[in-house]
Structure formats: C-alpha cells, structure tokens
Chain A
C-alpha cells in the first residue's frame, strides 16, 4: 500500500532522514519507534506532505506520492493525527468531523459522523467548541475522529497516547485496537511505550539518527540488546 524508497530529508545541513525505506501493507499495524529526534515525525511529515524530501521516492497504492499536494494525499486516503491535537478552533466537535468528511471524501454522511462520535465517546460533546470545551483525552479522540471522517486507507498516529494517564492510555489503546480489528485499516503509530507497541503492532520499525536500524516483529525488536540500547538512548562509545 505504502512504499517509501531511500527517502532523505535535510534541514539546512542537518540530515533528519537518511535513505529511509518503509513498507506498509494493506491492513497492517506498524509501530514506528526510536529515541527523541530520530526522525519519526519527519517520516509522517513526508508521507502527509508537510515536508518535501531531498531525495527518494514514495508510492501510495498506485500514486506517485511526492507529486501530490497535501490535500490530495488526504483525499487519496492518508490521514494523520498530531502529538499536539490540532482541532479547528472556530468549529464545534461535530463541525470538525463534518468538514473533514466533506472535503476528505467529497460527500457528507451524517450517520457516519454519528457512528464516529459514538465510537470515540464524543456524542455528548458533539456540539461543544472543539478548542475550549474538551479534556485532553477528548482532544485526542477528536484528532482520531477527524482522521476517520476522511474515510482513510492509511492512518498515521503520532504519539496518540502521549500525555494520557494510565487509565486513559489503556482505554485509548483498546479503542485503537478495536478500530484496527473492525475496519482492517492500515495503521502506523509512533509510540514510545514498548508494551503498547507489542500489544498493537504486527511489525515495528526502529529509527535512530534518521536511519532505519531494525524492521522486525516487536518481540524480536525488543529482545535485541543493540536496538534496545539505541531505543532507550544508551549508546556505546
């Protein structure tokens, strides 16, 4: 479904990504892990169009991804969330979803909006202002809701669980798991928590200093002492 080939990104003289290869198949759940500054969010930015790579190719289904503007990628089925939720401030929770659905899919389906609100536990908050009247978990849920409203084929979750307390994290993990099981949606998640990655993902890709250093099942990844040293930020001299 998604294929990144030798993607490199440089900010000024600094290499943020170097020859990154990433494949995501239909219905797959992939974890993107690595220490802070490894380039995980940059990978998402390249896929969604916020960052233009300096080299490499990217394909999504039959599309040459890098030639497409951001909104065309969203319409083609790539949806993403941000670590810091970015609701549309002037709109209510429901209107946020309505805009995403209308412009992401080209049609409006109020029933589907109700289903998404219900699935995310946001029905009672539907008419609230998206910027001011939501708790953090609800903001996170709305972030996922906006992505789902575009009827995506590939969902990119950027630290969707960050900042949540233990119960909230547990509930959110279950919700994402259920979403994947019920829809068969391909999902890539950036997450630091090893347990969460192990529970959710079929495969984990480890980035370090902008390079892919491992691409394996989570069990193998987290048993590899070399990977774990890099993952926890301990580096050998």
Chain B
C-alpha cells in the first residue's frame, strides 16, 4: 500500500511538470491578451507529430527534432495570433469560438496527415526504466523531461522577472492600458507570449511523444487540463501553475492506482469544481484585481 502510494506520488510529480509547461503557455497568452487559446493543446499535439515524422521518416532522434518542431509550432501559433488580432469586437468571447474552430481544424489536419493510429517513439533509450531504491519506477524520458520542464519553468520565471520584454509582458498582463501609456507596444508582447507558449508547448509535446503515446484527440484533452491547472493555480502565479500541475498529476496518479484509469480525467474535473466553489481565485492566486 505504502509503496503504491509513493509510486503514485512520484509518477504524479513527473507527469505534473510537463502539464505545467502546457498550462504555463495557456496562462501566458491569457495574461497578455485576456483570451483562452482553445487550440493550445493542439499546438502540443502538433509538436509531438512533428517529432514522430522526424523520427520515422528522417531517423532523427526526437530531441534533435525539438528546434524544427519549435519553428513549426511557433509559425502556427503566430498564424493563430494574427487571426485573433483581426477580431475587432468582443475579442474575449469571439476568440473562444475562433480558437475552438482552429483546434478542430488542427486535429483533423493531424488525422489527415498521420491517421488515427496511436504513435510512440521507437527510440528504445527513452523507454528504458530508471529505478530508485527498488521502489520508484519511471522511464528515462520521464526523468529527462522532468528536469527539462523544471528548468524551463524556472527560465520562464527568470524571463518574466528579469528581462525587458518579460517585464513588458507582465506590465501588459497587469494593466494593458497603463502599459501602453508607458510606451509598451502590446502587439509585440502578445506575439512574444505566443512564441514563448509555443516553445513550452513543443517541449511538452516531445515529452508526451517519448514518454507516452500520442493520438489526434489528445490536443483537446490537454487544453482542458491546462485550463483546469491555470484556474487551480490562480491567474498570474508561475509557482502556482507548477504546483497546480503537480497536484493534478498526483491526483490523477492516485486515482489510477486506487480506483480506475477510466476515472483519471474525472478527478481533475471534480477538483476543478471544488476549487471554483470554495476558492474561486485559485489555490495560489491573489484574487480578482481591478485596474
């Protein structure tokens, strides 16, 4: 029993960190544009399939496919941004419909190009087991991307707090109007937030491809999960996103261990509803702010 719980906590921690990458991208875009990109999970999916093509067609290691996937995903993300930018009225609401539609198009594009078959890496190195003390089991991919994900979350925090454009991004998130009156060009920060979100989504996509299996419907599920994590964390809290993602990962792993894998997605939803009811500002958020 104790061993099972410990393993569930460990697996949840490893999974939660790449969930954090997905959620952080969604939160960044929400922060600067106040829109929820419902096609965000499909960007993760696209990165995973680019890595699949690189490996299966060109015999490239999935890690070597990261730069190429980043370019592809960033180009698609910028195209999504340019479409959203054309919305002149009720952008918050209309962008939901637009990005939902883009998500469906991307999923169908993946279906058309790569079919509905389940895919995974064929590079055995990623799947080899790493065992700690005969107690904690994981794959090399999970350990590698745990480390990369933590580093990337840290790098994003550093970027937001220490660099000019990171500060400008926070300024636009905090108060778009005030930031513009200080000379910040909001379009630059919005495009930048899409690009940073794409970089994070790409790494998450490769983590999923090398550690689990991918299929075209995965994108939508990831968007929902990222949204839940962002709300759990509370808007504007990077450590909150990391902790919220790990919490979801752990709760899912415990559900699979003690109940059923068919309930895995449900527990995240239940947690989401409980937090919305009891603490609508999120577990680590600061409440609603008004300019």
Residues of A within 8 A of B (CB): 48-50, 69-71, 74-75, 79-80, 82, 86-91, 95, 98-100, 102-105, 108, 131, 146, 149-150
Q: Give the distance to chain A from B93, nearest Cβ to Cβ, in Å.
A: 21
What is the interface of chain B mostly: helix, strand, loop, or mixed?
helix
B177 an interface residue at 8 Å Cβ cutoff? yes
B164 an interface residue at 8 Å Cβ cutoff? yes
Count contacts on B: residues with CB < 8 A to the other chain.
21
Establish whether residues B178 and A70, one from each chain, have CB atoms under 8 Å apart when the complex forms. Answer: no
B135 an interface residue at 8 Å Cβ cutoff? no
Residues of B within 8 A of A (CB): 164, 167-168, 170-171, 173-175, 177-186, 236, 289, 291
Tally A-B pairs: CB < 8 A: 76
Establish whether residues A88 and B181, one from each chain, have CB atoms under 8 Å apart when the complex forms. Answer: no
Chain A residues with CB under 8 A of B289: 89, 131
Complex CA distance for A108 and B164, rounded to whole angstroms: 10
Chain A residues with CB under 8 A of B173: 90
Q: A86-B175, A88-B175, A95-B167 are in contact. Are A80 and B181 (CB under 8 A)?
A: yes
Closest 4 CB pairs of A and B: A104-B183, A103-B183, A100-B182, A74-B183
CB-defined A-B contacts under 8 Å, sample of 26: A69-B180, A70-B177, A70-B180, A71-B181, A71-B185, A82-B178, A86-B178, A87-B175, A88-B170, A88-B174, A88-B178, A89-B175, A90-B173, A90-B174, A91-B171, A91-B174, A99-B179, A99-B182, A99-B184, A102-B164, A103-B168, A103-B179, A103-B185, A104-B182, A105-B183, A131-B289
Q: A99-B168, A99-B171, A131-B289 are in contact. Are A150 and B177 (CB under 8 A)?
A: no
Chain B residues with CB under 8 A of A98: 167
Chain B residues with CB under 8 A of A82: 178
Establish whether residues A48 and B164, one from each chain, have CB atoms under 8 Å apart when the complex forms. Answer: no
Q: Give the distance to chain B from A135, nearest Cβ to Cβ, in Å.
A: 19
Establish whether residues B170 and A91, one from each chain, have CB atoms under 8 Å apart when the complex forms. Answer: yes
Establish whether residues A70 and B181, one from each chain, have CB atoms under 8 Å apart when the complex forms. Answer: yes
